[in-house]
Amino acid sequence: MLINWRVITLPTRPHNANRGPMTQAVTHPAFEFIRTHTLDSLKLRVEEYRHKATGAQHIHLAADNNENVFLVALRTVPHDSTGVAHILEHTALCGSQKYPVRDPFFMMVRRSLNTFMNAFTSSDWTAYPFASQNRNDFYNLLDVYLDAVFFSRLDELDFAQEGHRVEFAEAENPQSDLVYKGVVFNEMKGAMSSVGSQLWHTLCKYLYPSTTYHYNSGGEPEHIPDLTYAQLKEFYRTHYHPSNAIFMTYGDIPAAELQARFEDQALRHFESLDEVISVPDEKRYYAPIAVEEAYPLEDSEDLGNKTHVVLAWLLGKTTNLDEALEAQLLSNILLDNSASPLQQALETSDLGQAPSPLCGLDDSSREMAFVCGLEGTRLEDVAKVEALIVETLEKVAQDGVAQEQIEASLHQLELSQREVGGDGYPYGLQLILHALTAATHRGDPVAQLDLDRALSELRRKIADPQFIQKALRTWLLDNPHRVRLTLRPDPHMSARAQAAEAARLAALKSSLSEEQQQAIIERTQALQARQLQVDDESILPKVGIEDIPPHLHYTPGSQEQLNGYPLRRYSAGTNGLVYQQITAKMPALSQQQLQLLPYYCICLTELGVGDKDYLATQRWQAEVVGSISAFSSIRGAGNDVQRVDAYITLSAKALARNNGAMNDLMQASLQQVRFDELERIRELIAQNRARREQSVTGHGHSLAMTAACAGMSPAAKVAHELGGLAGIAAVKALDNRLADDAELANFAQQLAAIHQLVLTAPRQFLIVGEQEQLDSYRDQLAARWPGEPVTPGFAAFSLAPVSARVREAWITNTQVNFCAKAYPTVPLDHPDAAPLTVLGGFLRNGFLHRAIREQGGAYGGGASQDSNSASFRFYSYRDPRLEETLNDFDAALEWLATSELQPQSLEEAILGVIGSIDKPGSPAGEAKSTYQAELFGRTRELREQFRNRIVAVTLADLKRVAATYLQPEKASLAVVTHAGNRELVQGLGLEIKTL
């Protein structure tokens, strides 16, 4: 998986009181102890070791947490854009010395109870992380990962499959055209369809003129075919060596026990490598530069306002913690919220549609970068955008900012340091990734985790009234290493790129001898045979059904009354933070009001309140809370998806000392929000449009599935209309309409009318915090909400039943396809929901992964049951094919019906489902998830019942539910594709819609 690491905020997790104290550090004889450092604020001990023979570094975060995490990182520094590090990351996981099977990584995904498994390629490192709560499972995965990284087979056919290859369009016909194939090749075609990705990589090309960041480590599709198999193997030899490795672990397994495994399974086979892999200092500019490039944009109604303009400065080293925090504080002061001076200038300027998605501090590279700019500008206004930014910075440098704003930004830094993580990635992995940048560049990873000293030093510095002015001049205004990048749309660029690729392939074909043509055919045949071979999976370690914990992990909470309001309180280790939600039953809405619901939720926390305008309110929020937001939830009932329930929730978090102030802010936001700030509303819609338009190429498979399911239940229809592809089309049309002042005023009145309905709705409260504070939190809340108002005649939200087939093709700017096919099934409480859920993993593991990813070249594909919409969905992600993939969805069902199914495959599918159900989150996240689930009647008993049904699924169940529900005449189709496939999708009978 390719990632571009941006700012990573540091989470924390408290000591687990149910465990004993951490043991003292013990060192394995093959390692030497360097140091240990206890971090009281994180409730863990950092231990650093060095492998004596190779110099490999081991950083262990000893914590009383049974979700143990492992990561091994290699410094990978490519010097071109062929994607060598990225392709190597994929190929290394395709079989190793001890496990000479074709796909040990994906086999282990389904043979374990992992809470996380993946591999990452960043700009200057490649990492292989996993996590598990089961110790045997952890060691199984460790064994496979160590062998994959240090003893990979790097089979040339795997390089062809994962990286790139040429084949004849008709596999055995040398008269047909040559085509490029490869998983990474197609993945990067999809990734580089995103304008944000093109903007970032183009900027890096100029901001980093001489170091590895100049290149696209994921690979540019134009350059990926230049990479040879020999170059891949040489890169592996020099970079995948323990002398260039960083081992990082987290959890309650002692370091010496882990080191024994490292030594026995890998390190004892190596000696020190003299070559040192590192990134040198970047060559600095003596004066700012301005560059202009283009990006492809087709089928746009207006190319005049589609230009992106960004300014970027190269700052200091990320390994200097004091400088890094200083730069982060400066970035926060300038850009943190709408009241921040630079953010305000960008949001309110009529020179562009919205602030650039790149705005902020990037600290993922050896040297930091600060970026700001606008999207949706006109080419003739580029100089004006630059002037706007520089003039704003000059004004701040001259006038400074209020001390309250500086304190608020420091408050945000402190809150991000204290907050518990674990909802996206495992908590331990978040800590490890935070320290990895420093370790990669041979800095101090302990200092990256122990921010208390650095924050104290920063607090001392801001006492100087000239601190921000000096920092701004040092880092930005007096810094000549500045790049102005203009990225303009070109409607013909995509066609030229396709023509160039076709010409390159045609030239290659014309140069082939008969022997070379035959070699291509034979390699195609060999790869197909390899993809179809059945490996002996028994050589891989595994866990089984017997290893599944007997019960669902459940976070209990109180059920009580607060002055007549229902209240739920949850005790959780939040490390000094408090979380609160106010949830209102959604009122009955007209169809027109329903279409405006997403915009109402956006505006609720982004407008002014009472006598404060939105700028004053944004400053208030920054001083008091870490975040405040509103969202709506519409779900079908567990026994009937045609019957919906719905809520609107206002959610916030704060440091414990600010709980009372957070209560005041939330109450004011709900009761006194202003819908008279028309220009602010216009800005918010424009920004939302920009963000959602950019989301398509990254979430195309989800959007396609949502579209395919839109005819299967009322909630699914609303999800498509509000949050899906239809919602994106709707916000574009709305943004265009709001240019008319009368339309804008009417829109604001409609939002206000929705709010008046929400104010009449019954409401309830959630509090999550540490046990000793919960009574105080309740009392403070009770003082502000003296009693529930009587709301006679309140009409609750409802929707008409929905049952329709969908056949749609959505045309957008993408080089790849996203395909989805969906069938109506059953809701969550139906006994067949469990076998349908298991069936998704079973089809993915047994057929779809091979057909769609390995043979078809898509980055991903699979199937899943969505019981919320009562639908079963097939999907593909960043897929070079379209019709063939739709045929593969059907072929998967034929395979299921005609094959002799294996019990081991069933067990693997069950393990995958249970792993996703049992995956832990942050303490606060688990409490909030339980609260929201129980709002919709998902009690502990019902969730446990569903989990038990999963474990009891049989092979006969899988065939039965597939035959019962997945019938061709009931299928719906939705694809996201490009204009070049217009005739193809018309031929498939799909209705064409354009984004």
Q: What positions carry a catalytic annotation?
A: 89
- Residue 607: what residue type? L
Cβ proximity of 632 and 597 under 8 Å = yes
State the Cα–Cα distance between residues 431 and 164, nearest whole angstrom: 35
Ramachandran class of 41: left when φ > 0, alpha when ψ lies in -120 to 50, beta otherwise: alpha
The structure tokens listed for 210 are: 């001489």
Q: Which two tokens stand for residue 250?
A: 């987290």
Question: Of 230, 159, 236, 850, which Cα lies nearest the Cα of 523?
Answer: 159
Phi, psi torsion values for 230, nearest 5 degrees: -65, -40
H/E stretch holding 488 reads strand 482-490
**Residue 109: burial class (beta carbons within 10 Å; 0-12, 13-18, 19+):** buried
Spell out the residues 6+ positions from residue 535 whose beta carbon is closer than 8 angstroms to its own.
Answer: 101, 102, 103, 107
Cα distances (angstroms) measured from residue 767 to each of 148, 531, 629, 678, 935: 45, 52, 16, 34, 14
Q: How many residues does the chain have?
A: 995
Q: Say how far apart CA 625 and CA 416 lie, in whole Å.
A: 11
**How far is 346 from 112, CA to CA, in rounded Å?**
48
How far, in Å, CA of 758 to CA of 778, rounded?
Answer: 23
Asked if 131 contacts 68 with a C-beta cutoff of 8 angstroms, the reply is yes
160 and 401 Cβ atoms separated by less than 8 Å: no
CA distances from 689 to 357, 731, 735 (A): 12, 6, 7
In order, the DSSP letters of 791-835 are -TT--B----------EEEEE-S-SSBEEEEEEE---TTSTTHHH
Q: Between the CA of residue 514 and those of 13, 352, 361, what are the distances in Å?
A: 64, 56, 55
Tokens of 305: 């306002």
Residue 673: how many other CB atoms lie within 10 Å: 24
CA distances from 793 to 285, 409, 590, 760, 977 (A): 69, 45, 17, 10, 48
Question: What CA–CA distance (Å, rounded) separates 875 from 878?
Answer: 10
Per the DSSP assignment, residues forming a β-bridge with 973 are: 807, 821
* Sign of the Cα pseudo-torsion (393, 394, 395, 398, in order): positive
Rounded Cα distance between 764 and 647, Å, is 10
**358, amino acid identity:** L
Q: What single letter denotes the amino acid at residue 448?
A: Q
- Tell me if 104 sits within 8 A of 288, measured CB to CB: no
Amino acid at 871: S
Distance of CA 831 to the CA centre of its chain: 32
**What are residue 31's DSSP bridge partners?**
51
Dihedral class, residue 878 (left if φ above 0, else alpha if ψ from -120 to 50, else beta): left
Q: Kindly list the distances between the CA atom of residue 264 and the CA atoms of 29, 221, 258, 267, 294, in Å, as whole numbers in the listed order.
A: 12, 40, 10, 7, 53
SS3 622: helix
Identity at 437, one-letter amino acid code: T
Sorted by sequence, the CB contacts under 8 Å of residue 120 that are 6+ apart come out as 1, 2, 3, 89, 126, 127, 128, 129
Side chain identity, residue 177: D
**Count of CB atoms situated within 10 Å of the CB of 451:** 24
